[in-house]
């Protein structure tokens, strides 16, 4: 795994589209891009370590959700979430409860998911910690987890009755989801190199 490195890649300049419909017509299934009130950002390739980490943590979430028939997990990082008119993001990991399956459209999720995870890259630091925090909170995303492997920093938040985010504190080295009692991770799993396979983590959880 020593050959896997985390090179910083400069983001390309943004594009602009007059309408969200123009963006939707332009953005095909092979293009990872986000749309914010006319400005389009094409996502840069992420580091291999970040990709492994989000895929395996997302895979763990899928195991837990699948075993408990809780809903739907998208962990490819290319599924668009339309948070409001004029705002589409591509979260790394998305969970939608079974009872809210109606927000899942053919090519995007139309509305606030129940849980979003973002794995921070150097070029997405401000976007993930600040911009998306505010957007997800305003849109009503039930829970938001942010993981920055490079800085060994993480935070998790749940949406309170006041429609504001409140931090989720770890307990005995574990981070428990507020949305679903069945899901938790050991914080140390975020930093493992190489990242643990989803089945290894699931086995420790009793699955």
Tokens of residue 104, six digits: 């899942």
Q: What is the pLDDT of residues 153-162, one digit of tens each?
A: 999 999 999 9
Q: Is 3 left (phi over 0), alpha (psi -120 to 50) or beta?
A: alpha
Question: Are the C-beta atoms of 59 and 201 separated by less than 8 Å?
Answer: no
* CA 194, chain centre distance (Å): 20
Instruction: Report domain extents, the chain.
Output: 46-205
**What's the predicted TM-score (pTM) here?**
0.90
For the domain spanning 46-205, the CATH number is 3.90.1570.10
Cβ atoms of 196 and 189 within 8 Å: the answer is: yes
Query: What number of other Cβ atoms are within 10 A of residue 40's Cβ?
Result: 18
Query: What are the tens digits of pLDDT across the range 47-100?
Result: 888 889 999 999 999 999 999 999 999 987 789 999 999 999 999 999 999 999
């Amino acid at each position: 795994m020593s050959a896997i490195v985390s090179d910083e890649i400069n983001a390309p300049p943004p594009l602009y589209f007059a309408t969200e419909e123009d963006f939707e017509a332009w953005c095909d299934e092979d293009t990872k891009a986000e749309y914010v009130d006319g400005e389009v950002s094409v996502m840069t390739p992420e580091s291999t370590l970040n990709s492994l980490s989000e895929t395996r943590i997302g895979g763990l979430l899928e195991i837990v959700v699948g075993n408990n028939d809780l809903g739907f997990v998208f962990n490819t990082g290319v599924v668009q979430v339309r948070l409001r008119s004029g705002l589409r993001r591509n979260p790394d990991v998305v969970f939608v409860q079974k009872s809210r399956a109606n927000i899942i459209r053919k090519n995007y999720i139309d509305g606030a998911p129940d849980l979003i995870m973002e794995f921070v890259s150097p070029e997405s630091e401000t976007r993930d910690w600040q911009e998306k925090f505010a957007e997800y909170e305003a849109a009503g995303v039930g829970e938001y987890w942010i993981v920055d492997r490079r800085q060994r920093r993480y935070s998790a938040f749940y949406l309170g009755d006041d429609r504001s985010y409140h931090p989720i504190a770890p307990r005995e080295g574990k981070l428990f989801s507020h949305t679903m009692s069945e899901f938790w991770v050991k914080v140390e799993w975020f930093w493992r190199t190489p990242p643990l396979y989803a089945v290894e983590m699931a086995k420790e959880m009793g699955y």
